Each structure stands twice: as structure tokens, then as C-alpha cells.
Structure 1
Amino acid sequence: MSKPDKPTTQAGDGRAPVPEQKVPEARTPKRLPPGGQRGGPPWMGAAMPAEKSMNFGPSARRLLGRLRPHRLQLAAVITLAVASIGLSVIGPKLLGHATDLIFNGVIGRQLPAGTTTEQAAAAARAAGNDNFADMLTRMDVVPGAGIDFTALGRVLVLALTLYLAASVLIWWQGWLLNGVVQRTVLRLRAEVEEKLHRLPLPYFDRQPRGELLSRVTNDIDNISQTLSQTLSQLLTSLLTVVGVLAMMFWISPLLALVALVAVPLSVIVTQRIAKRSQQKFIAQWRHTGELNGQIEEAYTGHELVKVFGRQREVEAAFHAKNEELFRASFGAQFISGIIMPAMMFVGNLSYVAIAVVGGLRVASGTMSLGDVQAFIQYSRQFTQPLTQIASMANLLQSGVASAERVFAVLDAEEQSQDRVAPSRVTGRVEFAHVSFRYDPEKPLIEDLSLVAEPGHTVAIVGPTGAGKTTLVNLIMRFYELDAGWITLDGVDITSMPRDELRSRIGMVLQDTWLFGGTIRDNIAYGRPDATEEEILAAARATFVDRFVRSLPDGYGTVIDEEGSNVSAGEKQLITIARAFLAEPSLLILDEATSSVDTRTEVLLQRAMAALRSDRTSFVIAHRLSTIRDADLILMMEHGRIVEQGTHEQLLATKGAYHRLYRSQFVGALVDDEDEGSAPRTPSVQGALSS
């Protein structure tokens, strides 16, 4: 939905034209009313459409690109890994040399002492044992001598030292890499948190809370686990493949080529299986978010679920979504789990081929037994990292799928940038030709204009859905206008920083919100630097002090997460005290006394009258007794102001406000055609004259 052009400024009004803010049509989401997605019954799970995932390659590169700020640490990690793998791959060659020392000693002891190797080979050839003769010519044996344990000991100590040094280096490399990964995830969490504060309210209207929380918590945790478990193994596995392959070609190019036959076969198997598992992992995390959304809704609304007897429907919706998650998770894990046994099978085929060819070459004398033993170890070391890389495909697929979901939050369109704040706010609010709709197909507010003078109280009344709360949400810039403008002291609010605008506004909603903390902290939420005397003064003025004194811990009473240890009316009083203490320039009261008793409401009317003095106030009310002293009353229907004036003026016009007033204080009218008939309770007819 592109934004319509704002009306051009008329000559002589003294205002500069407001620049048009275009929003790209392709990226502008369809808006829903406040709470549109979240306000449904708890048993109605958020059925999200299947997301179209990005390709694995671009998503993986973007995820790895977040490691770029730690280039120096990553360079140290790579250096340590190269050194560690270099020492490790020398080990089998040393052990092969040790095997040659043992084998040469065993064969040398069987030969006559005092002869040479050539003489022993000639004797074997004369006896018809050509293979043994060929083997002797290529062996370093001393006829009649046994095993050289001194040389063997030096080789084994050297091998042990190399392996120990390699272990220390790989531990150091893992320690550095883990720090890089955790700092990267720390920064990613911070970016997501900051992004959420920059997103417009319509974004949250479209997102089920459980699904969004799953992206911020579960998906980021999965990214952390994936990076921690795969980066180190991938690095060491790749370096091991390179190092082992170099040693294999050094020992025997022929056997190295035999071992390399397994590589394309392994790649083909891995690719075919990975393609099938990728979509399964994406579905797994999508279903996880949807299931979290259902659980969160059912838990927060569990009282309604029980009252309306919808436990079976909630359980059925849960089991259906849980079954979808099970099928996606089972498919993802099963398909990706096939990679490991498939790679082991390919590795065993390579092992058998090397053993056969190597044995033939030892028998022919073209290779020593130690070299064949070393090559077999290298072949295991060569196939093992390939198997590890393949077995990590499921973790990589899962981690990249989670990264895509987190990147979708980071890529979401942000609210427009703030500009200059006014130097002084007196409280004059003007709506000029304002139009707004949540759904492009459903008009809500069309061409609305009004002026609220500084210090005046503007009451907004009308039936449910008339646009009363939407009007004050537009003042707070929770939503952007489709047309027209709203000014505060002559400055368009779209040119003001949102934080600065909202810091001048105090708001008390019908739906109270308290955070987990003390009553004192909740009152001082809008002014953390308030003194104890100021907090107590605000509490006394709003009659909070009356019930807090009866609590064992007084103002230090800790309110639990749901605020269940104070009543609904007491919570409302605390929120009013919070607004009282903030001393805003502009005050918005949205059914602020709906949860208090009649006697307390009368007292609060006096407190709020003092609170509204010298500041502009917008009061949304259904009980008309609370706004009879307002300077201006707006009667809204279908997003339009159908009547405006004082209480007496609107009663005198005998219009929509008069009918609404009669319905509350005289008695409900029977039908529209009976409006002229006598009221059902004529004993309170005198209320109209008050």
C-alpha cells in the first residue's frame, strides 16, 4: 500500500509543505488493527504460510560474514589449526617408520649373520623365492641383527611429543574460536533487540508473539550451537584432508589416486541427501515457532480457555501442530542421519581397495610395510574428516535455516527516521485532513480535522470500532498516516523524534501493564530519577497510598510477572500514578477508570482533573459521566467526527450524543422507531437537565 500524497499547504497558513514519504509498494505489508493477530481466541493457532527460504549458499555466507570483525582472532585460529594438523599428519609417517624398524629387525634376525643384504637376496632368489628377494633389496636390514630398540624409542618419543603438541594447539585454537563465536552471537542478539525497537507497530500486529519470540530465542541459540560445533570441526577437517592428501601423494601417488576415487562419490551422496533435508529443517523451525505461538497464547489466556470450556480444542490444536513438528523433525533428522552411514560405507570401500593394492606392492617390494601401514592410517584420516563434514550437514542445514529466520527480522522494514525535535511543547494538537486505514480495502478515518488547544480536555466518545483508540495511536505515531498531517505546536509530528514526542505524552490505557518489580519502581517507570517524596505525592494524589499502606512490604511489594498479587483496580491506580508522576505535556486517558469501583472513580476524577490542569488531554470514555466537564467532546462514528461541542451543546442538538447519553442515563431505547416514546425509567429523566 503506497501512501497517498499529503494535501498541499494552503497559502497563508504559515506552514512549510511537508515532504511526501513514499514507501515502496512491494515491501509495504498489509496492516492489521492493533492486536489483530494477537487478540484472537487462544485456541486459534497462528497458521502461518510456508516461508520461502533463501538459498543455502547466500545465507551461509551472510552468517559467516558476521565473523568479519574478528579477523585477527580468526587468523590466529587458522594458524594454530594449520600447525596442529601439520604435527598430527606427521605422526602416522613416524609410526610407519617405527613399524619398519620392528619389521626389519624381525627379518634381519632370521638372516645369517655376517652376510650382506645382497647376498641374502641372491640366496632367496636361488631358492625360487623371488618376491622375498625383491622385498629384501628395498629393506634396510642388517642380517643377524635384531630390533634396534634405541632408534625405536627415539621415534616413539618424537611421535608422542608431536601428538601432545598438536593437542595443545588444537585446544588453544578451540578456545579462541569459541570466544569469537560467542561474541558474534552476543552482537547478533543485541542487533535483533535494537531492531525490534526500530520496527513499527504494524509489524508486531502481523507477528504471533510466540513465533517472534522463537526467532529471538530458539533460532539464535540454534545459530550459536551450530557455529560452535561446526566451525572448529570444519576447519580442522578441511586442513586434515589437505595435509593427509599431501602425505599420501608423497608416500604413493598410485594409492593416493585410489583413495581419491572416494571423494566424488562422497560429494554426490552428500549433495543428494542434503537437498532433501534442507526443506525439512526449514519446516522444523517454522513449526517450532508456530507451536510456541500456540502455547504462549493458550497459557496467557488459560482462564478464558477454562471459562469457555475450550480445553479440548486447545489440546487438539496443540497435538495437530505438535504432530506436524514431529513429522518435520523426524524427516530432517532421519534424512540427514543417512549421510553418516553412507559415508562410512564409501570409506570402507576405499579402505579395502588401499589394503589390497598396498599388500601387492609390499609383496612386490615397491613399498615398505611401514609405508603401507602409514598409508592405511592416512586413508582413515582422509575419509574420517570427509565423514565428519558430511555428518555436520544436518547441523549446518538447521543453523542456516535458523539464520534465515533471524535475518528476516533484521531485514524487516523499519519505521521512518526521526528528524528535529521542537524546542518547547505547549500542547496544541491539530489534525488536518487526516486519513488512515489498517486495511486498504476498509476505510476507517477519512479526512478528519480538529484542533485541541493547550490546556483543554478533549473527550472522544462513540461506539466500539468508531476509531477512538486509533486516533490517539496516531498522535503517538504508533502508525503512520495515509494522508493529511498531525501537528504539535505547529510542528508536524512526523518530523519529530519518536522518543522525544512520546516523552512529552503520558498515557493510561484500559489494559494495564505492570512489569515484574516493586510498586515503587512501577510508579517511577516514567521518571526513574524521581525522589521518594515525589513518588509518595503521586501515590497519594491517585489514592495508591491508601491500599499500599495495608501491604506487608508497602511500596517495596514485588509485583509478579502477571500482576496477579494486586487487583485489576489497584493496577489501574498504579498506572494512573505513573502518568501523574511523569508530568507530561500531553495526556491520553483511554478508559483509565474502567477497572475501579464507583466511589474510587469519583475520587479519581478529582485527581485527574488536577492532573489535566495546564496540559492538553485526550480522554476516551464509554461512561459519559466521566467526561461531562470536558472542554470539547467529539462524537465519532465510523472514523468520522459526526458531532463536536460541550456536553450541554451536544445534548441540546438532540443528535447522536444525545441518543448515547439517553441510553446510559435514561434507559435503552426499544427500537430506532421508538425514539420519540417515553423512556422506560422516567424517574431519572432529570439527569438530562444536569
Structure 2
Amino acid sequence: PCMGGRVDVATLNMAYCDQTAWHMNESIRDSITAVSGFDEQWYTTVLRACSLEEDLQQLPRGDRTIVGSKGIALSGGQSQRISLARAVYAQKDVIILDDVLSGIDASTENHIFHNLLGQNGLLRRIHSTIILVSSSPKRLPYSDYIIALDAEGKICGQGSFQTLNSAAGYVSSFSLPPPDWTYKADPDAHRGVTSIVQEDEPDNLRSNEALEAEANRRTGDVGIYLYYVGSVGWFAALMFVVFVCGFVFCIAYPTIWLKEWASANFENPYQRLGYYLGIYVMLGFLAIICLIASCWQMIITMVPKSGEAFHLTLLKTVLSAPMSFFSTTGTGVTVNRFSQDLQLIDMELPVAALNTFAVFVPCIAQMIIIGVASVLGAISFPVVLVALYFIQRYYLRTSRQLRFMDLEAKAPLYSQFSECLNGLATIRAFGWQKFLEEKNRRLLDRSQKPFYLLFSAQRWLTLVLDLVVAGIATILIILVVKLRGTIGGGYAGVALLNVVQSSQSIKLLITFWTALETHIGAIARIKVFNETMVGEDKVTENNMPPTNWPGEGGIEFQNVSAEYRPGEPVLRNVSLKINPGEKIGICGRTGSGKSSTVLSIFRMIELSGGTITVDGVDLSTIPRQEIRSRITGVAQDAFLLKGTLRLNADPTGFLSDGAIINALKSVHLWSVVDENGGLDADIDDLHLSHGQRQLLCLARAMLRPSKILILDEATSNVDRKTDEIMQRVIRKASRHTIIAVAHKLDTILDFDKVALLDGGVLKEFDDPYTLLSADSDFSKLYASTMSDQPDEVGIMADDMTVSSEAPVSSSRQAHRLL
């Protein structure tokens, strides 16, 4: 929020591209076009300008590929470029780009910059005002106007590049060359290409969610009840049944006891009053005790056990799911399971079970009493039961499916909530509030349709049951009147009383039973989900490595092919050998398979061919959690846990405070932490910048005793000083085998070897200087990277002169260009 002053803008017609790309769980086309209408020519023009056409050609479904929640199905660079394409496609008067090019390889970044912001760039042609926020000075010479901010967020210089470069200050300190406008933009960048646009086709392949939903709706057998009883324990369930039966007996038997008392009083008036009254009162007290015991058993014992058991089952199933599950399943579906399904199991199912058992036994008792009073009445029961059977059969078949539909219809709504919360800044910047509000209303209406139909079906059931009960009462009264000479007055009175009671009991029984059958659908969903989910762990992964593994850190890929989803390979026959202690850089254009290579070491994606060995041990034979606990990694996006800084630095709680403090000092974070409460400070209260969060993740990685350190573009989105600190810390890990995915190629020139990937294929693997001296793809990539790079921006190993007292500047507070 603005704490002072004011900001005046001439237009609110703006687009915004966040530093962290935001996506909804839609197709690539829908993610780009968003609320704008689809214009194929403009759409394909934007795709080519944002260098997306090659990526889409590699995808089996092209731009109809679902990006997944938070863009999980995309690489970091692809996700950022699609977010950029959305801002460009909107054709707004003002476009704000928050460091969107930092996570993209240099060649692609150069292509995008000149095709969008060059002299003949796409955004210049549509006369949009561009505000580009960046932590790199690389593009300063190309700006019309520059605003530089110091570490405190204050303006330390503003003006044109010529003005600031000729004066002493921040911009002139880089000795930047004049802008090079000789780069020729892609001549086809402003021309549509229809080959990368997929036509709308009916999808004949049903999604996993649809197939699972159909399986859920077919489930309603006794096995579900046994599954539920197994979760709470047979003894607890048996005690519950015993208490309910005791309660029902103590409620039903007093009717018979009164009949016996009345008969005895007729023969011997006012005899043994204490005996009959005492038994009657005792039955009432026992009924109360049994009711309390049954409720206690259900609410205090069974409900917590079942809730914990099913929550643990869901949690284990989700955590053991392969990456393909998360790339094809929306977050709303998963949230729906943990919220709606568990709420039914914890809140509504126990009440329905208690009510069903509490009404079922009285119905049986009342039917026995009516049968004793009238044999003909008892003969009519099978007919009535058959009628009730068909009623509940047809009703249950409908109500169960409606309940499943009610549960499933809420998943898109939950996804909408989650995605809107994550993308509030983007939504407000684009002005999409009304559109998303309308979409939310449509989803809400759709989610309530099954509930309305279920409510209507319940009203129909109530009407039919009332008519059936009225029929039973009419039959009994007719029989009593016609056969009044053969039926005793006491039994007739008891029968009539039980008819009145049974009329309500039968109605309640069917109602509660159908409610139980409907609510049991939540358990059916969990059971089907647990049984059908193929976990990432395999039976063959049972070889426990030695406690000191990996002791050396040697890694070898042998014809490795990998895929996120079946039939969509991201790595193809990759073979390379990494000796212990070597530093290996992995590079290539965005989407070439760099991140997939390191993810395959962690077994985050499935191998469709080949083997990966570490110190001679085949990773496909080791439990995956064991691999991930023995190898250290730092991702491109910093991940921090809710809680204290101590918890984030040492989640296991085994390290001393001194070790944590030393690690924080090595990344220049201790001064910030110490000033804000030390290790016990809440991580949210520290307000760490993006760069500082990444430094904390690096410190956490260095605290782990592992011989292998994997960095997945860990320095791509940080400012220069943060990058220097991270490079210094990485090079101190001389005894580690280091694999670094990088698009800043100057940071890996001092590495032992460099692997160049393209389209999931290993093109080159050799010493970086050997590759630079030859006519190699790496030398071409490096040349395109350094063609317009300022001399002082490169960070070489022999230039690591960062002072241990140097302040850490955040990527959000670093010098920025507009």
C-alpha cells in the first residue's frame, strides 16, 4: 500500500507480468488469450515474438496442452514466456514487466527482447508504454528513460541512458556500450503461422478424473462399510453396535413391560407396584446410559480414529503420487478431497450412522410386536419390505450419483479460489475482477445444481415413504377391526401404538439409511483414489544403500530417456559420466530438458529407458525418499516452510545453533536475521526478498552432509551481488560433485565440463573452453549470450572478491531500469 504521496496515471488500461509466473489450470491458448477474444493472426504473431513456436511444436497437443496448476507441466522459462505472451496479447496501453527475462536463456532472451522491444519490435508497433523492472544492467542502453533505485528503495539516478552514462553514478559504473540495434528481428515474428495452432477437436480421451468419477459412482457395496469399520477398528465398532442395541432395547421393551403390568394389575390390582415401576424406571436410566455411551463411542473414539486414518491415507496417497498426477490434476480436486470429503466423514457420516443404527433396531422390534399382535399383519410385511426395497434401490442409485456429482462439482470452484488468491496482483492489474466474478458465479451455480437435485429427490422420498407408512397403518387397522374377536385388547393396543411409532421410524430409517449411503460416497472416493493411484514407489525399489552413500559422488547416465506423462518424453537417450568431485554445468535453450535432467536424478520423473547410477548404485533400485535424503538440491524457486527461521534452516532439528549461524554468515544473511529476532524469528516477519530467500535455501543446502549438490537455475532470478555471494559459496564446496543448471554461461566457464541439451537430446559434453575454441553449439550459444553483455556483468571464478561484510541487495530493491 502507498504510505505517502500519490501516483497519477493517464490510463488504467494496463497489463502486468509478475516475476513469478501465474497461470490458471487451463490450456496454453486459454492462458494466453485469457479474457480477450481469440484472434488467430495476432495470437500466432505473439507466439513467435515470444519464442514459443518451437516449444509448442514439441508438445503432442500443441497449444491445447494443459499447463497444470501453477504451470507445473511447464519449465520455468516456458512458464515465464507464456505469462509474457499473455501481457503482450492483451494489447494494453501500459505493460509492466517485473524482471520477466531473468529466468530465460540468453539466446531466447535476446530474441524476445528485440522482437518485442527493439526498434521494430511488436510492442513499439502497437505503441505500448513498457515499464521493465530488472536487476541486470544489460538492457539499460536500450531504454528511453531510466530510474535507478538504491538498496533502500530511493531513487539514485534518473534520465536517459546518454545522460546517466556520461555522469558519475550507478549507470556509468558499468561502462556499458551503446545500444546495438544491428540485431535483425525475426522477419516472421509479425506474421502468423498456423502450424503451431491446434484446431479445436473433440477430446475422445476422457481424463483420469472423469474415469475415477465414474468408478466412484459405481461403488456402493458392503466393502465400503467394511473399509470404514476397518479404519476405526472392529472392537470400537462392535462396542458401538452393542451400546446402540442396548439403547434400543431399553426404549422398545418398556412398551411390552407396560402391557404385562397392565395385565397383572387387571388380575391383582395395585400389587407389586414397586417391582413393575422399578423395572420401568431402570430401563429408562439404562436407555440414557446406553445412549450416552454410544454417542461417546462414536464421537470421542470412532470419529477421531476414522478422520485421522482417512486423512493419513489421503496424505500418503497424494505424497506418493508421481509427477504426472500433479501435472494433470487441478489443485481444486486435491483440496476438495481434503476438505469436502473429510468433512463428510468427520461431521455428517457419523451422525447418519448413529441415526441409522438407532432407528433400525426399534423398527425391527416394532415389527416383531406388530407381528405378534396380528399374524396377518406380519404376512403383509414382506410385501411392504419389497416395496421399500425397490423405492430405496431406485432412490439410492440416483441419490448416490447426485452426491458424487455434488462433491465433484466443487473441485473447479476450489481451484478457482486457489488460483485467484495466487494471482491477485495480475488479476487486478489486468482489471479482470468482473470477468472472474462472473466465472465464479457460473462455477457456483454449476456446483449447486447436483445439491438442488439431491434435495428434490429427498423430498420425493419423504412423500413416498409417508404414503407407504399410511398404507401399513390402514392395513393393520382394517385387520384389527375385522378380527376383533381373535385379537386381545392389550396386543391390539400395543400394535396400534407401534404402528404409530413405526410409521415415523420406517420413514426415518429409510431417510437415514439413504443419507448414510449417500455420505459413504466420500469413503468410496478415498478408497477408489487410494486403490487406483499408482504410486511413484515401485516394488523393486527396496535396495537400501550404505549409510555413507554416496561416499564419492560419481554419477553416470546410460541411455536415459524420461517422461512426465506416458508418450511425452522430455529426455531422449542421454548418456554422460560425471566423476567424483567434478563441477558440471548444464545449459541449453528454455525447454531443452535441463531441469528434467536433474529431476531424473531425484527420481521426480519416470525413466522410460536407460539407467542412472551414483557411485555404481542403480537409482532405480533405491527407495526414492532415500535418494532425496542423500542428495542436496536447490531449486529455481525458493521454498520456505511456515514457522521459524531455525525450522527452515534445519527442518530435522539435528543441527546446533552455531552451525546454522555459520551457514547464514557464509551467505551474508546473519546480520538481517540477528536484527529481527535471531533463529527463532518467524520467517514471515523477516520479509526476505526473493534473493535473500534463495540465499537461505542455499545455506540450508550447505548444512546437509551430502557429496552431491544440484542447482536448478538457483541464481537465475537474483541480482548481481546475490549472484556473487552464491557463486562464492558454491565454489567453496570443492569436495562436492556439483551439477548446476544455468543460463548465465559465464558462471560455469570454470566448471570441469558443460553439457548442452536441445530438445531433450545431449548435443555436447566436454570442457567449456574446448567447446568454446571449436565451432560448437555451445560456442554459438555463448556468443549470442555475450554479444551485448556489459564487460563487468560477467562473474568469473577468479573474480570472486566479495567482502564478507558486503550487504545483500534484494532483487526487489536492486537497481532497476524503466
TM-based fold match above 0.5? yes
SS in 1 for 2:467: helix
Shift of 1:518: 1.2
SS in 2 for 1:458: strand
Q: 1:421 aligns with which of 544, 550, 559?
A: 544
SS in 2 for 1:481: strand
Distance 1:335 1:397 in 2: 14
Report the CA distance shift for 1:154/1:345 in structure 2 as closer, same or farther (over 3 A).
farther
Conserved 8 A contact 1:259-1:379: no
Shift of 1:334: 1.9
Q: 1:465 aligns with which of 583, 588, 591?
A: 591
Aligned residues: 595
SS in 1 for 2:591: coil
Q: 2:661 aligns with which of 528, 536, 539?
A: 536
Counterpart for residue 399 of structure 1:
519
Alignment of 1:289-688 (within 5 A): 289-362=411-484, 365-411=485-531, 412-415=533-536, 416-417=538-539, 418-423=541-546, 424-425=549-550, 426-525=552-651, 527-551=652-676, 553-560=677-684, 565-611=687-733, 613-667=734-788
Conserved 8 A contact 1:337-1:394: no
Distance 2:434 2:594 in 1: 37
Counterpart for residue 237 of structure 2:
74
Matched, 1:244 2:366: yes
Report the CA distance shift for 1:518/1:177 in structure 2 as closer, same or farther (over 3 A).
closer
Per-residue CA distance 1:480-513 (angstroms, 9 max, x = gap):
2111111101111111222322222111111111
Conserved 8 A contact 1:459-1:634: yes
SS in 1 for 2:553: coil
Counterpart for residue 165 of structure 2:
none
Amino acid at match of 1:493: L
SS in 2 for 1:582: coil
Conserved 8 A contact 1:48-1:290: no
Per-residue CA distance 1:391-435 (angstroms, 9 max, x = gap):
124522432322222123311112213222333421010111111
Distance 2:71 2:573 in 1: 24
Counterpart for residue 135 of structure 1:
none
Report the CA distance shift for 1:421/1:683 in structure 2 as closer, same or farther (over 3 A).
closer
Shift of 1:637: 1.1
Matched, 1:88 2:251: yes
Shift of 1:665: 1.9
Q: CA RMSD in A?
A: 3.3
Deviates more, 1:654-663 or 1:61-70: 61-70
Shift of 1:442: 4.4
SS in 2 for 1:67: helix
Amino acid at match of 1:366: T
Q: 1:270 aligns with which of 374, 392, 395?
A: 392
Shift of 1:52: 0.8
Shift of 1:318: 1.9
Per-residue CA distance 1:600-643 (angstroms, 9 max, x = gap):
322321111113x1111110111122212111111211112222
Report the CA distance shift for 1:659/1:290 in structure 2 as closer, same or farther (over 3 A).
same
Query: What's the % identity of the aligned pairs?
Result: 22
TM-score, normalised to structure 1, is 0.79
Conserved 8 A contact 1:544-1:570: yes
Per-residue CA distance 1:288-333 (angstroms, 9 max, x = gap):
2232122112212222222333333422332222111111111112
Alignment of 1:106-121 (within 5 A): none
Shift of 1:48: 5.3
Q: Which has the larger radius of gyration?
A: 1
Shift of 1:54: 4.2
Distance 2:72 2:460 in 1: 40
Report the CA distance shift for 1:646/1:311 in structure 2 as closer, same or farther (over 3 A).
farther
Distance 1:100 1:466 in 2: 93
SS in 1 for 2:327: helix
Matched, 1:202 2:315: no
Deviates more, 1:255-264 or 1:86-95: 255-264
Conserved 8 A contact 2:555-2:615: yes
SS in 2 for 1:517: coil
Amino acid at match of 1:664: T
Counterpart for residue 111 of structure 1:
none
Amino acid at match of 1:522: N
Report the CA distance shift for 1:57/1:420 in structure 2 as closer, same or farther (over 3 A).
closer
TM-score, normalised to structure 2, is 0.67
Amino acid at match of 1:295: F
Amino acid at match of 1:243: A
Per-residue CA distance 1:109-143 (angstroms, 9 max, x = gap):
xxxxxxxxxxxxxxxxxxxxxxxxxxxxxxx7x9x
Conserved 8 A contact 1:523-1:578: yes
Distance 1:388 1:154 in 2: 34
Deviates more, 1:93-102 or 1:638-647: 93-102
Conserved 8 A contact 2:635-2:714: yes
Shift of 1:34: 10
Alignment gaps of 5+ in structure 2: 1-64, 87-206, 800-818
